[in-house]
Amino acid sequence: MINLILFGPPGSGKGTQASRLVEKYNLLHISTGDLFRYNMKNDTPLGLEAKSYIEKGELVPDSVTINMLKAKVDENPDVAGYIFDGFPRTTPQAEALDELLEPKGGVSSLLMLDVPEEELVGRLLERGKTSGRKDDLDESIIRNRQEVYRNETMPIFDYYFKKGVSTKIWGVGSLDKVFSRLCLELDAL
Ligand code: C5P
Ligand code: MG
């Protein structure tokens, strides 16, 4: 199995690249952000709980996010592998993922899309014009999401670096260029 964590700050291109990678490698794309947005759109109890955090650019509590992710993996046991996009975002989430993937060979690779912060803010403001996402519209929320990433999520890179599976990928350039950089790493697995 290939169990890939597509890692990187908000706006680094995880979702865009994941949709291409799933086609080439026949993997299941699990985006926790998309799952939250689906639940918010449908006014489910989970969506209502997540909404207040997401609209401020804060993280949803670990237990909520972990249970949602586990349910999605358990619903789809017979796949060639998974691309985790937007998860894990905290150390407890990484530990939960390791436990969940233990019978599936563990995390194969974490690829981090490295993009300078000013470029990220510009991309997200641009995306906000069409994405319909409230958290993409306000620069202070966008900056808060970057800060949450630096403080709470960035340590996950080192967590998996110590396990020998983390790699940084330069995330600036055309979609095709970034895609081929990612493929180079995946083909080497
Ligand atoms: O991954 P994405 O940027 O789409 O996530 C949107 C929002 O969903 C995050 O800013 C955060 O509020 C919430 N989220 C979370 N924990 C995750 C993934 C997403 O709290 N693991
Ligand atoms: Mg995304």
Closest atom of ligand 1 to 135 CA is: 10
pLDDT recorded at residue 145:
98
pLDDT recorded at residue 161:
98
How many helices and strands, by DSSP H and E, does the chain display? 9, 5
Rounded Cα distance between 146 and 11, Å, is 9
Rounded Cα distance between 164 and 185, Å, is 14
Q: Is 129 among the catalytic positions?
A: no
Q: What would the two tokens of residue 59 be?
A: 């993280």
pLDDT recorded at residue 51:
97
Q: CB of 6 closer than 6 A to ligand 1?
A: no
CATH no. for residue 135? 3.40.50.300
pLDDT recorded at residue 21:
98
Cα-Cα-Cα-Cα dihedral of 100, 169, 136, 94, to 10°? 20
pLDDT recorded at residue 91:
98
Establish if 64 belongs to a structural domain.
yes
Establish if 48 belongs to a structural domain.
yes
pLDDT recorded at residue 92:
98
Number of structural domains in the chain? 1
Q: Is 89 among the catalytic positions?
A: yes
The continuous run of DSSP H or E covering 13 comes out as none
Establish if 50 belongs to a structural domain.
yes
Instruction: Ligand 1 pocket test: pick from 84, 85, 89 the residue with the most ligand atoms within 8 Å of its Cβ.
Output: 89
User: 75-100: string of b/e by CB count within 10 Å (b at 16+)?
Assistant: eeeeeebbbbbbbbbbeebbebbeeb
In tens, the pLDDT along 72-109 reads 999 999 999 999 999 999 999 999 999 999 999 999 99
pLDDT recorded at residue 187:
97
Q: What's the domain range around 139?
A: 2-184
| Ligand 1 center–CA 6 separation, angstroms | 14
Establish if 30 belongs to a structural domain.
yes
The DSSP output letter for 166 is E
Establish if 132 belongs to a structural domain.
yes
Instruction: Ligand 1 pocket test: pick from 6, 59, 124, 142 the residue with the most ligand atoms within 8 Å of its Cβ.
Output: 59
Establish if 189 belongs to a structural domain.
no
Establish if 68 belongs to a structural domain.
yes
- Reported pTM: 0.97
Dihedral pair phi/psi, residue 17, rounded to 5°: -70, -35
pLDDT recorded at residue 180:
98
In tens, the pLDDT along 29-41 reads 999 999 999 999 9
Q: CB of 86 closer than 6 A to ligand 1?
A: yes
DSSP string covering 57-111: TPPPPHHHHHHHHHHHHHH--SSSEEEEES---SHHHHHHHHHHHGGGT---EEE
| Ligand 2 center–CA 188 separation, angstroms | 25
Q: Is 133 among the catalytic positions?
A: yes
Rounded Cα distance between 166 and 159, Å, is 9
In tens, the pLDDT along 130-189 reads 999 999 999 999 999 999 999 999 999 999 999 999 999 999 999 999 999 999 999 999
Q: Is 181 among the catalytic positions?
A: no
pLDDT bucket at 46, cuts 50 / 70 / 90? very high
pLDDT recorded at residue 112:
98
Establish if 67 belongs to a structural domain.
yes
